[in-house]
Amino acid sequence: MDAMQVKFLAMGIINGFAVGAIYALLALGFVVIFKATDIFNFAQGEIMMFGAYMAMLMSNALVGKLGIVAAFTLAFLISSFTTALLASICEMTVVRPMLGKPVLSIIMITLGLAFVLRGGVEFIWGPEELPFYKPFRDAPLLVQGVPIAEVRLYTIVTSLILMGVFFLFFKYSNKGLGMRATAEDQETAFLMGINVKRIFTMSWAIAGIVGAVGGIFLGSTVGNLVPYLSHMGLRALPAVILGGMNSITGAIIGGLILGVCENLAGTYIAPHIGGGDIKEITSYVIVLVVMMIRPHGLFGTKEIERV
Amino acid sequence: MLKINNIEVVYSDVILVLRGLSLQVPNGQIVAFLGSNGAGKSTTLKAVSGILRYQDGEIEEGSIEFDGEMIHQLDPFEVVKKGITMVPEGRRIFREMTVEENIKVGAYARDDSAGVQKDMKMVMGFFSVLQERRGQIAGYLSGGEQQMLATARALMSRPRLMMLDEPSLGLGPLVVQDIFGIIRRVNQEEKVSILLVEQNANIALANSQYGYIMENGKIVMDGPSEKLKENEDVKEFYLGLTEEAKKKRFSEVKHYKRRKRWLS
C-alpha cells in the first residue's frame, strides 16, 4: 500500500467515525429509554429531527446579531434544552398515562408519536429543503496530510465529550445511580425511595439531548434540512441491536463500528459491484452475522446468574 | 408507631386479599407476622410501602397511620421519606451493581452526605462481610450475603421502621441465626422498629416481642410472642410440635411407600 492509499483509508475511517458518532448518539437515546422504562421509543428519529429544526430556527434568527459562531453555539444549547423539554413532555403526556399497560401498546404509541412529531415539523416548517447555516468551513482541514471536513471533526469531538459526560453521570452521580437501579429493577427502586416516575422523565430528557446533538451535526453535515431526516433514526437501529439493547457502551461502540464499516464499504466495495447503495445494507449484514453468534448483541447481557 | 386500621385490599378490582386487617407495630419493638403461604402477609407489607397500586392492587377500605400521619395514599418513595423501608422478599438486590453501589442506592432519597458517610460506616460495622466485598458485583454474592446486603441497603435510608419479608428464605440454619442476630442488634442499637414476616415461626417468635398470626386475609390470633409459643394451636399448626402430628406423618409415609410399590 502506498502513502496515498493509506491516507485514503484513514480518510474513510475518520469520516465513518463521524457518521458512527451520530449513530452512536441516536442509539444512546434508544438504549437510555429502553433500559430505564422497557419501552422501545420509535420516535427517537423524530426527536432528533426536531432538535435539528430547532437549532436551525435559532441560528437563523440569531445569525444577523451575533455572528455565525456565537449564534450556532447558542442555538446548539437552546435546541438541546428545548428538545429535552419536548421529550419530557412527550413522556409525561403520552407515555405516563400508559404505565402498567402492555409494553407492546406503549411501543405502538411511540410509533404514533413519531408520526405526530413528523407531521408537526412539516406543518410548521414545510416539507421542502431548508438551508442550515453552520460555522464550519467547507474547505477540508489537513490532519497529517489527510483531508477531513471540519464538521466531521467537530462531530467526533463533541460526541465523544457528550458520551464521556454521560458515562461519568451514570457511574458516579446519585441520579445516575438511581437510573441504573431503576433500569435493573423498577419495583425495588421504588422501595428504595427512588422516584421512578421522575427517572422515566429524566431518561426521555437525556434521549432528547443526545438526539438534538446528533440531529444538529447531521444537519450540519448534510447542509440542509428535510423532515425525512428522521429516517436516520431507523438507520441507527442496527447499532442498537449490534451493541445489545441494554448496554450503553454497546450502543456507542455499535454505532461507531457500523459508521466506519458503512463508509469503508461505500468506498471500497461499491465501485466493484457497479455502484448501488451498498452503504445502506452493510449495517444489516453485519448485524445479521453478529446476531447468529451473539444473540444478545456484542455487549448485551442476560441477567447475571450466580454460578 | 405503625397502625394498620381495618384495611381491605383488592387486586384487579375483583380479588379480595385482605379482609379488614388491623395490626400495630409500637416504636422500638420487633413484631412477628406469621401465616401460611397466600394468607396475605406480603400484600400487607406492600400496602404499607405503597407499591401495591403499581401491581394492580388497591386499598379499598381502612387506613394506615405512621406516627400520627396517614400514609396509605402516598407513593413508595414518599413512604421511604417518612421513615419506613422494606426489605423485599427474595432480597432483590441490584445484581449488576457493586456491593457499595447497592448500599448507596439505599441512601438515594437522602441529601445529607455527611450523614450518609457516617451510616455507611455503621452499616459496614454491622455487616463485616460486605466491607470485605465492597467492590464486588453483587450478583455473585452468596444467598446469605445477599440478604445482608438487602438489609444494609434498607438501613441506609435511616428508617424508623423496617419491614422484612421472609429474611430466612432459602438460607441455611446457621446463616439464619446470624441474620436474626443482626436484626436484633439493629433494633436495639439503632432503635429501629421491625415488622418481620416469616414462615419460620420458631425463630420469628424467639426473636420478637409480639406476634400476629394471619389466615385468609385476616388476623386470627395475636399476643406476646412468649404466650404464642405456648399456645396449643400455634404449636400444632406452626411449630409442628404435637405428638398427634408425628403419628399422622408416619401413616402418610407408609401410605406413600405402599403406593409407590404398587405403581412400580
Size of interface A-B (CB pairs under 8 A): 90
**Could you tell me if A214 and A19 are in contact, meaning their C-beta atoms sit under 8 angstroms apart?**
no
A303 contacts in B (CB within 8 Å)? Answer: 95-96, 139
Extents of the domains making up chain A: 3-293
Q: How far is CA A113 from the centre of its chain?
A: 18
Q: Residue B92 is nearest to which of A178, A180, A188, comparing CB atoms?
A: A188
A191 contacts in B (CB within 8 Å)? Answer: 49, 51, 76, 80, 85-86, 88, 92
Quote the CA–CA distance of A228 and B48 in Å, as a whole number. 51
- Please return the burial class of A272, using the count of CB atoms within 10 Å of its CB with bins 0-12, 13-18 and 19+: exposed
Q: Which residue stretches of chain B are H helix?
A: 41-49, 76-82, 99-106, 113-126, 128-132, 143-155, 173-189, 201-206, 225-230, 232-234, 243-263
> pLDDT per residue over B81-125, tens digit each?
999 999 999 889 999 899 999 999 999 989 888 999 999 999 998
Is pLDDT of B251 > 50? no
Predicted pLDDT of residue B130 = 92
* Cβ-defined contact of A192 to B153 (cutoff 8 Å): yes
Quote the CA–CA distance of A244 and A233 in Å, as a whole number. 17
* CATH 3.40.50.300 domain extents, chain B: 2-230
* Cβ-defined contact of B108 to A193 (cutoff 8 Å): yes
B157 contacts in A (CB within 8 Å)? Answer: 192-193
Is pLDDT of B136 > 70? yes
Q: What is the mean pLDDT of residues B122-138?
A: 91
Residue B141: left (phi > 0), alpha (psi -120 to 50), or beta? beta
- Split at pLDDT 50, 70, 90, the class of B246 is low
Which CATH number applies to B2-230: 3.30.70.2190, 3.40.50.300, 3.40.50.620, 3.40.50.880? 3.40.50.300
* Cβ-defined contact of A191 to B88 (cutoff 8 Å): yes
Residue labelled with grid coordinates 435493573: A184
> pLDDT per residue over A122-161, tens digit each?
999 988 888 887 888 888 888 878 888 899 999 999 999 9
> pLDDT per residue over A54-91, tens digit each?
999 998 888 888 888 899 999 999 999 999 999 999 99
> pLDDT per residue over A180-213, tens digit each?
999 888 899 999 999 999 999 999 999 999 999 9
Q: In the Cβ-directed half-sphere of B234, how many Cα atoms lie within 13 Å?
A: 25
Please determine, for the modelled complex, whether the ipTM score is greater than 0.90: no
Quote the CA–CA distance of A107 and B173 in Å, as a whole number. 47
Specify the fold of A3-293: ABC transporter involved in vitamin B12 uptake, BtuC (1.10.3470)
A187 contacts in B (CB within 8 Å)? Answer: 51, 54-55, 88, 92
* Cβ-defined contact of B104 to A303 (cutoff 8 Å): no
CA distance A135 to chain B (A): 43
- Split at pLDDT 50, 70, 90, the class of A302 is low
Inter-CA distances, B256 with B148, B240, B244, B248, Å: 40, 20, 19, 12
Quote the CA–CA distance of A83 and B122 in Å, as a whole number. 44
